[in-house]
Each structure stands twice: as C-alpha cells, then as structure tokens.
Amino acid sequence: MRNLLKPWNLAGIIVLVGGIAALSWQYTSTSDQTGPNAITIPKLSPLAARGQTVFNANCARCHGVNAVGTNRGPRLIHDIYNPGHHGDAAFYRAAKMGSPQHHWSFGNMPPQPQVNDAQIASIISFIREVQVANGIVYRKHKM
C-alpha cells in the first residue's frame, strides 16, 4: 500500500481517473456544457420540441440526451448523418425496422415499436434542426 501512494504512482492514478472521467463526459456532453463534444440546441419549432421530448424519452438511453451519443449508440449530431448521406427515410426505417451495424461498433439497432409514425416525424424534425444549428447540412453522398 505504501508503494501505491508514492508521488509518481499517485499521479498515475489521478491521470487514469481523470481520463475515465473525460471519456464519460464525452458521451454525455450537451448544449449546456462546453468542450469539443458540446452541441447547440436552437429555439426549436413546435414539432421539433415534441421530437426532443420523444427522443429523450425513447432514444437517449443509447443515443444520449439530445443525440450526443453514448457508449451504447452513436452521436446523431454528426456529419455522417447529414441528410445527403442519411435521409429522413433512413431514420424512419431505423426506428421502425432497426438497423444493422454499419458506421459504428455498437452492434445492431433494434426496432423501436413503442414509437409511432407521428413521433418518428417529430424526432426527425428535432434531429435535423439541431444538426443545422451545429453546421450539419445536406451534402451529396459520395461513394
């Protein structure tokens, strides 16, 4: 135990704990925090505001509050999900039918039968408005 508390070992433990905390923060950052993974939440349209509520109640467990990602699901406020690469229909299909793992290493996304068509439309509106507020716009997909 005495060797563990020597200054260089204690510094290593502090760096390790700090690194773990930094990684945890990366997956939970939202608009009210600062840092490289923070996002801006704009004044949302009524449809998108409903979508934010539905998203955070049904999707945040994996995709994080306000779609910032977690260690269980990808960040949706990311350029890979711009409308030119993942159109609205891709989000709709993912919610209705699930999605095989393709851009991430989190495994397959299961269908979300508890979310109805109107709720999915509101979620897509929410994601798109937040994407635009964060500089993510339509870019033609190139293979």
3-state secondary structure of 98: coil
pLDDT tens column, 24-40 = 333 333 444 566 679 99
Ramachandran assignment for 137, one of left (phi > 0), alpha (psi -120 to 50 degrees), beta (any other): beta
pLDDT-based confidence at residue 142 (cuts at 50, 70, 90): confident
**Distance (Å, whole) CA 37 – CA 116:** 30
Structure tokens at 133: 């507020």
pLDDT tens column, 41-59 = 999 999 999 999 999 999 9
User: Which domains, ranges and CATH numbers included, belong to the chain?
Assistant: 1-143 (1.10.760.10)
The one-letter amino acid code at 86 reads H
What is the reported pLDDT for 32? Answer: 40
pTM of the model: 0.74
